[in-house]
């Protein structure tokens, strides 16, 4: 059996999968955000409960909102204080007497999609999460690309490209980012960025769902805004598609449910690519909220 833990800032979800990726059991509990000992105890208790449910010791993978650093695998998890700087993989492996694998939660999302039955034939899969921030990852031949520092796929922390400034204006405020820089693209093309940009342009704070409803109703400001936003999204994604040349681009996160993206974006991207470039297939994520636990389980299952 394969255990996938999706460890977020508010909840920990465990999914137990068989060798065919069928989910056989799941449980969700609150995340102990500030006590490392409590968090360890929670993960250990969940693993033992799963062992009792399935009658064996499962293999454990964990998706975390951050990345491993250094030789001991200490975590950098800015939004989860309990694990910041802690060697979670080492500590859990010792206490549970089995190998624990850890990867970035966005990598787990892309891994889950790349192993979808419909998508398995694509050698290079790029995933983008248009949520509160902008997460991302790259899977090549069924395995996540992590890089030397574990930050490969942190697309949200690229700065606004010059052609994006042509779309939204060179005088656009360079929004400060949680990474310590300013002008990172996640502050403009994420779900949160979608709302911020609308407020900046029109002086009215509206949630994304309201802006989209106005767009579908033909309201002039919303039509104008979405047209500009799609150009901005294409300008930012164009550089990524040129760099990685994926066969498949999968979009997740709340803004990925704006279905018009999948009709409009392919018409805007060609002008942002090399003349010989063919567009990748662009799809909404197939596994939604379940992608995190599924991808974490695949950290072991992908070896089979």
Residue 70 has pLDDT above 80, yes or no: no
Q: Any idea what the Cα angle at residue 247 is, between residues 246 and 248, rounded to 5°?
A: 90
177 labeled binding residue: yes
Position 33 pLDDT exceeds 80: yes
pLDDT of residue 9: 82
155 is in an annotated binding site: no
Averaged confidence pLDDT in the chain: 94
For residue 115, tell me if it sits in a domain.
Answer: no
Q: Residue 6, annotated ligand binder? A: yes
Write the pLDDT tens digit of every residue in 50-65. 999 999 999 999 999 8
Residues 126 and 261 in one domain: yes
Percent of the chain with pLDDT over 70: 100
Query: Are 234 and 272 spatial neighbours (Cβ–Cβ below 8 Å)?
Result: yes
> 241: domain CATH number?
3.30.420.40
Residue 133 marked in a binding site: yes
Give the CA count within 13 Å in the CB-facing half-sphere of 234.
22
136 and 248 part of one domain: yes
Q: Is the pLDDT confidence value at 174 over 90?
A: yes
26 inside domain:
yes
Q: Which domain holds residue 156?
A: 121-284
Mean pLDDT confidence for 66-83: 85
- Mean pLDDT over 250-273 rounds to 96
In this prediction, residue 26 carries a pLDDT of 95
Residues 275 and 295 in one domain: no
Is 139 marked within a binding site?
yes
Query: Is residue 200 a known part of a binding site?
Result: no
Name 224's Cβ contacts closer than 8 Å, sequence gap at least 6. none
Residue 155 sits in the same domain as residue 275: yes
Beta bridge partners of 14: 5, 27
Contacts of 280 by beta carbon, 8 Å cutoff, 6+ apart? 126, 241, 245, 246, 247, 248, 249
9 appears as a binding residue in the annotation: yes
Q: Is the dihedral angle over the CA atoms 158, 162, 164, 168 positive or is it negative?
A: positive
Indicate the pTM of the whole model. 0.92
304 falls within a domain: no
Q: What is the distance between the alpha carbons of residues 279 and 37, in angstroms, rounded to a whole number?
A: 48
């Amino acid at each position: 059996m394969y255990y996938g833990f999706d460890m977020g800032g508010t909840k920990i979800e465990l999914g137990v999968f068989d060798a065919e990726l069928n989910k056989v059991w799941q449980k969700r509990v609150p995340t102990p955000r500030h006590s490392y000992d409590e968090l360890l105890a929670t993960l250990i208790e969940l693993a033992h409960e799963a062992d009792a449910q399935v009658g064996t010791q499962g293999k454990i993978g964990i998706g975390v909102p951050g990345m491993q650093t250094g030789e001991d695998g200490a975590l950098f998890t800015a939004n989860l204080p309990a694990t910041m700087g802690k060697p979670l993989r080492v500590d859990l492996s010792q206490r549970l007497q089995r190998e624990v694998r850890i990867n970035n939660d966005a990598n787990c999302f892309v891994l889950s999609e790349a192993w979808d039955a419909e998508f398995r034939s694509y050698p290079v899969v790029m995933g983008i999460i248009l949520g509160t921030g902008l997460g991302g990852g790259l899977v090549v031949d069924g395995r996540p690309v992590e890089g030397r520092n574990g930050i490969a796929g942190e697309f949200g922390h690229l700065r606004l490209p010059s052609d994006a400034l042509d779309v939204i204006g060179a005088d656009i405020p360079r929004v400060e980012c949680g990474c310590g820089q300013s002008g990172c693209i996640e502050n403009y093309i994420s779900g949160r960025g979608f709302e911020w940009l609308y407020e900046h342009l029109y002086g009215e704070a509206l949630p994304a769902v309201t802006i989209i409803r106005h767009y579908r109703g033909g309201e002039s400001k919303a039509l104008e805004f979405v047209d500009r936003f799609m150009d901005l999204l294409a300008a930012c994604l164009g550089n990524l598609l040129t760099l990685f040349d994926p066969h498949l681009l999968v979009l997740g996160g709340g803004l990925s449910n704006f279905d018009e993206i999948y009709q409009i974006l392919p018409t805007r991207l060609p002008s942002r690519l090399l003349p010989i470039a063919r567009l990748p297939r662009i799809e909404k994520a197939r596994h939604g909220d379940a992608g995190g636990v599924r991808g974490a389980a695949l950290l072991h299952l992908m070896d089979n």
